[in-house]
């Protein structure tokens, strides 16, 4: 990880019951721009009971990522999102809704069957079905935040290591469906 996280302001808090409503508001805005695309709520705010950052993650599934580059970048920017470009791979795009260094929402745009999109959906669904895993992951996030409240890069490094191990369990228990 590079210095992109140096000034990142974040906090970890208990699950916010307002997040599904916030997602629905975002779905309306994003849905006007990405008409007839699959739009999913992912990330910690999509999992009831999960502690995490108060950032609503939205996933948009497109058939061709070139559709994003054509006209949707300017439309998303006009709606108040900043364009972060390619984040996970060449077949992905990211937009962020920011407030003074704090990320309010990430909009992840993936081509259908993107490995990263599949991972995000699998993790969400697994955590919704496994309260033991949910509690362990929530506890880890809180502990890491207590240790690295002003060091998001370290928080992410240790969290990402945990998620790699967690994904092994997710994939072992999951069927081979695609998004």
Range 109-112, long-range pairs (CB < 8 A, 24+ positions)? 109/34, 109/59, 109/60, 109/62, 109/65, 109/68, 110/59, 110/60, 110/61, 110/62, 110/65, 110/179, 111/61, 111/62, 111/63, 111/64, 111/65, 112/61, 112/62, 112/63, 112/178, 112/179
pLDDT digits (tens, 9 = 90+) for 71-127: 799 999 999 999 999 887 888 999 999 988 788 999 999 998 899 999 999 999 999
Q: Does residue 70 carry a pLDDT above 50?
A: yes
**129-134 mean pLDDT:** 96
Which domains, and CATH codes, for the chain? 3-173 (3.30.460.10)
pLDDT digits (tens, 9 = 90+) for 139-169: 999 999 999 999 999 999 999 999 999 999 9
pLDDT for position 5? 58
């Amino acid at each position: 990880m590079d210095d992109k996280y140096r000034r990142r302001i974040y906090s970890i808090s208990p699950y916010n019951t307002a997040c599904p409503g916030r997602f629905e508001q975002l779905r309306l805005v994003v849905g006007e721009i990405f008409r007839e695309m699959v739009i999913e709520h992912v990330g910690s705010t999509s999992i009831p009971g999960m502690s995490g950052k108060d950032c609503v993650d939205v996933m948009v599934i497109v058939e061709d990522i070139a559709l994003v580059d054509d006209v949707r970048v300017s439309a998303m920017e006009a709606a108040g999102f900043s364009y972060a470009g390619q984040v996970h791979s060449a077949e992905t795009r990211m937009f962020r809704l920011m407030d003074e260094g704090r990320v309010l929402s990430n909009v992840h745009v993936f081509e259908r069957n993107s490995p990263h999109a599949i991972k995000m959906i699998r993790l969400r669904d697994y955590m919704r079905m496994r309260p033991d895993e949910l509690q362990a992951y929530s506890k880890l996030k809180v502990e890491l935040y207590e240790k690295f409240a002003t060091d998001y890069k370290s928080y992410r490094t240790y969290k990402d290591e945990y998620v790699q191990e967690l994904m092994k369990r997710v994939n072992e228990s999951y069927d081979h469906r695609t998004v």
